[in-house]
Amino acid sequence: MTHFTLSSNPAGHGVTLYTLRNAHDMRVVISNRGATLISWWAPDRYGREADVLLGYPDQQGYLANTPYFGGVIGRWGNRIAAGRFALDGVDYQLDCNEGDNHLHGGAGGFHLLPWQVQADPEGLRMTLASPHGAGGFPGNVLASVLYRLDDEGRLRIDYTATSDAPTPLNLTSHGYFNLNGGVDDICDHILSIDADRYLQIDRALIPSKAAEVAGSAFDFRQPAPIGARLAWPDDQLAVAGGFDHCYCLRPGDPATASRSRNAQTLRDVATVYDPGSGRELTVATTENGLQFYSGNFLEGIAGRGAQAYVAHDGFCLEAQAYPDQVNGPDREDVILRPGQVYRQTTTYRLSVRA
C-alpha cells in the first residue's frame, strides 16, 4: 500500500516536493528537479526517526548538485571514455564534464532538469523529454520514472524510456545513504554484494578489465565492514580514493546469463547493515552492474549538518549497465532503438534488526 501526499517547497526555484508515505509513517521526499530523492525518514531499532539520505539543506544546493545527491542520472549513468562512441557507422562526441570523460549525462544531465509529474494511482510518476543532441546524444528520448513505497519499507523505482533514433541509454539513481542518520561516517556499515567479479579501473576511472573479487578488498560475498576494507593496501583503492567500482552481478537465474538487461529478473544483489541503528538496506535490481561508491569526494560539501561532509560520510549503490559499455563488446545491449522500450527496475528496502 502506498500513501501519496503533495507539498510545496517554500524555497521556490521552480521546485515542488512530493512525499510518499507508508502505513508506518516512513516517508520518502522527492523533488521534481532531477526526479531527486531528497530525504528518506525511517526509524531505528528504538523507533527513533532519522533521514538516511545525504543532501543539501535547501533547494539552492540542488541547482548545481555537483555530487549528484539523489538524482536520476541520464542519459548515461557513470563514465564514457573521452566522451566518444560510434553507433551505426557514425562517430559521436559527448559533453566531457570530468576531465576528458563524459560523466552522468554531462553538464546538463537528467539530475538537473525539471521533470513533469503525471497522475498515477500506484505512486509518483515523473517524465522527461530529452531532445536530440542533448549532451551530444542522438535521438529524442522520452523517459519515465515511477516511485512506489510499500508498507514493508521498499522503495521501488521503475524506469522506462523510448527513442525515435538509436541512442545509448543507461539510467540509475544516485542516492547517498548513511544508515546511522549522519551521526557518524559509514565505516561501521557492514556490506555484502552478490558478485564474483568487479571492473578494475585506470587512472581516469575508466574500466580496464574484469577481475575476481576473491582475495581482494573488493570481496563482499560475505558481509564485511566498509571501513576495514578501505584500509586495505590495494592499488585500485588508491586510484579512486576508496571504492568507486562496478560489480558484475550474478544473474538471477543461470539460464538467463545474458548481459542484456531484458534477460534479467529482479533479484536481491546487496545488503548494508548499520550495527548502531539496526537499520538494514537491501538492494534488488534487474541490472547487470552495481556501482559501489564510498563517498570519496564528499570532503567540504556543505550538507544538512552543522559541519560539512567529509569523505565516506555516505555511500551509493547504483544499479546500472557497465561503465563505458557503449565502447565495449556488449555495446548493443545498451543501445535503445526505435520501437524498443528501455526497462529497468531497482528497489531499496529499509528494515530494522532487533
Give yes or no for a contact between 27 and 49, defined as CB atoms under 8 angstroms apart: no
Q: What is the CA radius of gyration of the chain?
A: 19
105-129: burial string, b at 16+ Cβ within 10 Å, e else: bbeebbbbbebebeeeeebbbbbbe
- Measure Cα distances from 13 to 8, 58, 84, 126, 309 in Å: 11, 10, 34, 18, 24
Q: What is the DSSP-derived secondary structure letter of residue 33?
A: B
In the structure grid, which three cell numbers stand for residue 19, read together?
512525499
Active site amino acids: 174, 318
SS3 content of the chain, % helix, strand, coil (to 5): 10, 40, 50
- Peptide linkage before 154 cis (omega within 30 of 0): no
Helix (H, G, I), strand (E, B), or coil: what is residue 290?
A: strand
CA-closest candidate to residue 320, choices 75, 153, 48: 75
